[in-house]
Homo-oligomer: A and B are copies of this chain.
Amino acid sequence: MGSKRKVLALCGGVGGAKLALGLSHVLGDDELCIVVNTGDDFTHLGLRICPDIDTVTYTLAGCVNTETGWGRAEETGTFMASLKTLGGEDWFYLGDKDLAMHVERTRRLAAGENLGTVTQALSRKLGVSVPLIPMTDDTVETQVEVEGDVESLILPFQDYFVRQRCEPKLKAIHFVGQEHAQPHPQFLANLLDPDLDLIIICPSNPFLSVDPILALPGIRGILQKTAVPVVAISPIIGGAAVKGPTAKIMGELGLKMNSITVADYYQDIASGFILDRRDAVEIEAIREIIPRVGVAQTLMQTIEDKIELARETLDFVGLDV
């Protein structure tokens, strides 16, 4: 090959952002497009907050807090401390640097710009040169159905996820508004580009971060029919999730905590699947679900880890790296 490659990455928060960063080192700005989940976006304190967009933006801009994987590096909490004194809600941490993103995004959205335009503009201001596209300009709101004392309760996702630290027992996840949400035009254009070489499903939570993207009208159907390789990277490492509530959620949804479950989940759309070396024992089972299976070191701690996983993913489908 040697000519220009075209790769589309579907991405959630922390894990996805790390692979996106690796891909951005291996591919040119015109070879990569990153589509980001907006299902857990929400409005808080009057501010529009897009957790996954921000995580991917900060990661690609090199200003993410590498300890948490989200938020800004060298962040300060003066605003939050002051807000707490005033009796304001402090359960969702907003650092002083990070806050500027939410204020400026909210201002631009209120002025009539769409989320895609705002996301591209603000990520570019921070030095991100790869196109970052929200999955949709429309609003999709993740709500979770949890066990209550008597009957089920419906909670906004961040209320469940952050305020209640995922403590209520999960029964179902709903993406409110998904049936009317239009995939972002650049997402569709990239997906249908005849020169597209590869679609990567990044190692993000399948149920919370990837599903909102797949559930947009038309997307799953396109992915089922496309001739372009669709490669999913499992977020499970050694039978556990690297971060976050994936394990608890999978358990409560009655799913086994392994990459076989993830492969099952992607079986109708993925033509290739990469799992962690530590789970290589699952290869045969997964091969019965998805024909092409690879193993890799999927824990991405250093920048070298991220670049290496990006390389191995491209190499897995025969793209020059």
Q: Is the CB of A103 within 8 A of B125?
A: no
Q: Please report the total number of A residues contacting B with Cβ < 8 Å.
A: 30
Q: What residues of chain B lie closer than 8 Å to A100, measured between beta carbons?
A: 79-80, 82-83, 85-86, 88
Q: A2 CA to B126 CA in the complex, in Å?
A: 64
Q: Which of A104-112, A203-211, A258-266, A283-291 contacts B (4 or more CB under 8 A)?
A: A104-112
Q: Write out, one digit per residue, whether chain A residues 44-57 have a CB within 8 A of any chain B CB (1) or not (0).
A: 01110000000000
Q: Is the CB of A45 within 8 A of B107?
A: yes
Of the candidates B86, B97, B101, B121, the one whose C-beta lies within 8 Å of that of A125 is B86
Q: Write out, one digit per residue, whether chain A residues 84-106 have a CB within 8 A of any chain B CB (1) or not (0).
A: 01111000000011111101101
Of the candidates B97, B99, B106, the one whose C-beta lies within 8 Å of that of A99 is B99
Q: How many protomers of this protein does the assembly include?
A: 2
- A308 to B: closest C-beta gap in Å: 31
- A158 to B: closest C-beta gap in Å: 16
- A141 to B: closest C-beta gap in Å: 18
Find residues 146-169 in chain A having any chain B CB closer than 8 Å to their own CB. none
Q: A5 CA to B101 CA in the complex, in Å?
A: 50
From A101, A103, A122, A126, name the one whose CB has the most chain B CB atoms within 10 angstroms. Answer: A103
Of the candidates B72, B76, B126, the one whose C-beta lies within 8 Å of that of A96 is B76
Residue A226 interfacial (CB < 8 Å): no
Q: What residues of chain B lie closer than 8 Å to A101, measured between beta carbons?
A: 82, 86
Residue A114 interfacial (CB < 8 Å): no
From A46, A80, A106, name the one whose CB has the most chain B CB atoms within 10 angstroms. Answer: A46
Q: A50 CA to B290 CA in the complex, in Å?
A: 61
Q: What residues of chain B lie closer than 8 Å to A106, measured between beta carbons?
A: 46
Of the candidates B47, B76, B98, the one whose C-beta lies within 8 Å of that of A76 is B76
Identify 5 residue pairs between A and B in the complex whose beta-carbon atoms are under 8 Å apart, listed by A's number: A47-B103, A78-B97, A83-B104, A86-B126, A87-B121
